Amino acid sequence: MIRTPLRTVSAALLATSIGVSGFAAPAAAGGSVSISIAPGSADSERAMRAGLQLYSIFNAVKGGAAVRQKGSGNNAGIAQIGRGNFGVVHQDGHGHNGTLRQNGGNNAYGLFQFGRNTNGHIVQNGHGRTGATFQFGW
């Protein structure tokens, strides 16, 4: 089948207008993306723990738990059962809801929420576990 140039140009214009209309549309109201990190090796676990410790030094965290909030309408809580746990909920923006519950000993976890209207509820069970979750909302 031989296509005429007019037909090819028409098809290209139609495809382009469909693609461009997807980019020109306003962003959907409300949404979020979450990234959770759990170390897969002893080296990456030590590196993540060191990063959480640097966060605690930089933010003058005393004790095993800290809630840091900048913005309005944020809710946060930390519950720890066991010894040697470290947990942080950091909220920067508006309307965040975040909790961290640690069961066991020597665990470390950080929940970091940015933007607006994110929901994160973390439960960390066991001993010597490390992790972090980063949430971005719009």
3-state secondary structure 25-78: CCCCCCCEEEEEECCCCHHHHHHHHHHHHHHHHHCCCCCCEEEEEEEECCEEEE
Domain residue ranges of the chain, discontinuous segments joined by +:
36-137
- Residue-wise pLDDT tens digits, 65-94: 999 999 999 999 999 999 999 999 999 999
Span 95-115, pLDDT tens digits? 999 999 999 999 999 999 999
Q: What is the pLDDT of residues 19-72, one digit of tens each?
A: 444 444 445 567 999 999 999 999 999 999 999 999 999 998 888 999 999 999
